[in-house]
Amino acid sequence: MNQPSARRRRTGYLFCLPGMAFLALFLAYPLLYNVWTSVHDLDLGQLLGGAERFNGLDNYRSVADDPAFWHSVRLSLVFTCGSLLLQFTIGFALALLFARPFPLNGLMRSLLLIAWLLPPVVSGTLFRWMLDAESGAYNALFQAVGLSGLSHDWLTDPSTSMAGVVFANVWVGVPFNMLLLLVGLHTIDPELHEAAAIDGASAWQRLRHITLPLMRPVSVTVLLLGLLYTFKVFDLVFVMTGGGPVDATRVLSLYVYEVFFTFFRFGQGAAAGLLLLVVPLLAGVWYVRRLRREDEAPAGGAV
Amino acid sequence: MRPPRHPWLLTAIATLVTAVFLLPVYWMVKTSLTRPDRIQTPDPQWAPSPVTGENYSTALGYEGLTRALLNSLVISCGVVALTLLLGVPLAYALARIRMRGSGTMVLALLVAQLPPAIVLAAPLFILERRAGLTGTYLGLIAADTTLTLPFTVIVLRPVMRSMSPELEEAALVDGCGLPGVLLRVVLPLMVPGVVAAAGLSFLIGWGEFLFGLTLADGPDVQPVTVLLNAFIGQHGTSWGALMATATLISIPVVCVFAVFQRFVVGGLTAGSVRG
């Protein structure tokens, strides 16, 4: 095992070849082709091959001049920050609860994960129904507990539809946040808490001075993974609102989809798409470098 | 952590939290089993009475639902097969064989998980269209596998690393080639890891939407997620049938999760967070 012969190395490369070749062909090449498309004038006419005209940065200029693009950037920021803040906070609170041993703990935890595993299209359909103005369960629930002020036509009112999709996205994201934070909580030495309790520290003080500081590195990781996932969200919003009403939820991924697949402005779609790629790449590279220092591979979560 | 003084009190709190959280899932199943004329009432019922299968027969009567369910099954199984076929040897080589460039490959596999699907769907649409792959199972399976292959290798590699190499060495000494070692010695020992990877790959293939929307080209290979979205447009207010469709899509997800739960959760959190 520890004397790599030339033959063994050759076999190793042969083992790697199919997988890496596949990713080169279906992932790396399309992404590079996207760069090429972004500096050409390409539309439906030349879809099946034709003479695309090189047009330099024209596509980038038209995207930058499009107010709808900047609107969608703003919406993406709101969607991402809102989702991250809420799912992290709720996930942390749940992790603190589930970190305590109690009967049926594991069962409850697994049940919560269902929310995260359901296909986003299903969750989106589900929340369309839950938030339905006429007979949605949430409005009925609000009325039942005397909060009828909260009954509202959430998804069809442009001023509240963003809150509606963030709400659904937080629902999807909480279990994953909880799971990872729970793993982090379990790494904290319980003796620290015991010693502090003996010294008369209250539960609140222990949370503030022991748990939170020790959870900082894990929290950074969880927030970063959350950022990567939230930035990618497409299905959920597409199914819930399609970007509407009146563009109120057209986040960046939906904007790129529309430019590319509705208007067939391929060059501009590619240009806008590249901007959508930059944020996750920068964040991801930073994260990977940070992990490398810890010499640990992250789990690839399903997105 | 000291055992709490009132463990059952915590159980009660956790039950309440879980119930509130999972209300939408309950509501989906409940709606799908409720008589259509009793679904859209201003004050909804909390339990279906009488329970009826009417919505399911309505949904299965909709054009293309059975076909789409079948398509999704074909695509997901194809994704699992292709992912394992490409991913297992790759993970093994990266875990066990000293090669130049393996560090770069691992880094590439990490970075490969970053691009948003829409950024890939756009060029794939053009390239697959030109290669004649749009509207084929293969085109969809390949697109979905770009999502599953990188994380599968990343999850399997540490699992392979953690196995003791003596068995492999013994098999090699006995004149077994590396491919033979992988098949006869390594894989049987790695069942949990491989099952986790297969389960997650299946779930991703089953739930994938955007590639299906952009590359499927019509009902022949269209996955069921795309059809569900189309139903919202066509049968927007038939909530009973929509929820029956959504429930049908969710059943395999919950089954896969129930069977593979221990493996999947372990695979997900394996090394993802260290305090």
Query: B102: which 2 tokens?
Result: 């393996």
Q: Residue A295: its pLDDT value, please? A: 55
Of B4, B21, B122, the CB nearest to A34: B122
CA-wise closest residue to A26 among B103, B170, B169, B141: B141
Distance of CA B77 to the CA centre of its chain: 10
Could A18 and B89 be called an inter-chain contact, meaning their C-beta atoms sit closer than 8 Å?
Answer: yes
Are the Cβ atoms of A273 and B118 closer than 8 angstroms?
yes
Per-residue pLDDT, averaged over A37-59, amounts to 81
Nearest residue to B272 via CA among A174, A285, A218: A218
The answer to whether B92 contacts chain A (CB < 8 Å) is yes
Task: Give the residue on A whose Cα is nearest the Cα of B95.
Answer: A12
Residue B265 pLDDT: 60
Q: Kindly tell me if the per-residue pLDDT of B182 is higher than 80.
A: yes
B95 touches chain A (CB under 8 A): no
Contacts of A294 in chain B (CB under 8 A): 274
Q: What is the mean pLDDT of residues B37-59?
A: 86
Residue B237: per-residue pLDDT: 79
- Give the pLDDT confidence score for residue B213 in this predicted structure: 96
Percent of chain B with pLDDT over 90: 59
Rounded Cα distance, B129 and B139, in Å: 9
pLDDT of residue B263: 67
pLDDT at residue number A53 = 83
Q: Is the pLDDT of residue B22 over 70?
A: yes
Question: By three-state DSSP, how is residue A88 classified?
Answer: helix
Give contacts of A80 with chain B, Cβ < 8 Å. Answer: none
Q: Among A14-28, A211-225, B174-188, whose mean pLDDT is lowest?
A: B174-188
- What pLDDT does residue B266 have? 58
Q: Which of A121, A135, A295 would you mutate first to test chain B, the one with the most B CBs within 10 A?
A: A121
**Least confident residue range of B93-102, B108-117, B158-167, B227-236:** B158-167
* CB contact (8 A) between residue B269 and residue A180: yes
Single out the residue of A30, A50, A11, A236 nearest to residue B115, CA to CA: A30
pLDDT digits (tens, 9 = 90+) for B187-238: 888 888 888 889 989 999 999 999 999 999 888 999 999 999 999 988 877 9
Asked if residue B180 has pLDDT above 50, the reply is yes
Helices (H), chain B: 7-21, 23-32, 54-61, 65-96, 102-111, 117-131, 137-161, 166-173, 178-181, 187-189, 191-207, 210-215, 224-234, 239-269
Can you give the pLDDT at residue B211? 97
The whole-number average pLDDT for the span A13-39 is: 95
**What confidence score (pLDDT) does residue A143 get?**
79
- Give me chain B's average pLDDT, please: 88
Mean pLDDT of B253-275: 64
For residue range A246-282, list pLDDT tens digits in order.
Answer: 899 999 999 999 999 999 999 999 999 998 899 888 8
Q: Which residue has the tokens 């967070």?
A: B273
Q: Which residue has the higher pLDDT, B264 or A68?
A: A68
- pLDDT of A262 reads 94
Q: What is the pLDDT of residue A48?
A: 66
Burial state string for A211-237 with b = 16 or more CB within 10 A and e = fewer than 16: beebbebbbebbebbbbbbbbbbbbbb
Cα separation of B109 and B150, whole Å?
5
CA A103 – CA B11 distance, rounded (Å): 6
Question: Residues near B173 by Cβ (< 8 Å), separated by ≥ 6?
Answer: none
pLDDT reading at B12 higher than 60: yes
Amino acid at B260: F
Which of B90, B118, B214 lies at the smallest CB-CB distance from A20?
B90
Which range has the top average pLDDT, A135-149, A287-301, B138-152? Answer: B138-152
Instruction: Tell me the shortest Cα–Cα distance from A159 to chain B, in angstroms.
Output: 22
Give B-chain residues touching A116 at CB under 8 angstroms. Answer: none
Residues A179-190 have a mean pLDDT of 91
Instruction: Please state, rounded to an integer, the average pLDDT across all residues of chain A.
Output: 89
Residue A296 above 70 pLDDT?
no
Buried b / exposed e along A23-48 (16+ C-beta atoms within 10 A)? beebbbebbebbeebbbbbbeeeeee
Q: What percentage of residues in chain A have a pLDDT greater than 90? A: 59
Q: Would you place residue B33 in the very low, low, confident or very high pLDDT band (cuts 50, 70, 90)? A: very high
Which residues 148-187 in chain B show a CB within 8 A of chain A? 149-155, 157-158, 165, 168-169, 177-179, 182
Does B44 score more than 90 pLDDT? no
The answer to whether A175 and A90 have CB atoms below 8 angstroms apart is no
- Does the pLDDT at position A237 exceed 60? yes
Which positions in chain B touch A302 (Cβ < 8 Å)?
Answer: 147, 151, 200, 203-204
Give the pLDDT band (50/70/90) at residue A1. Answer: very low
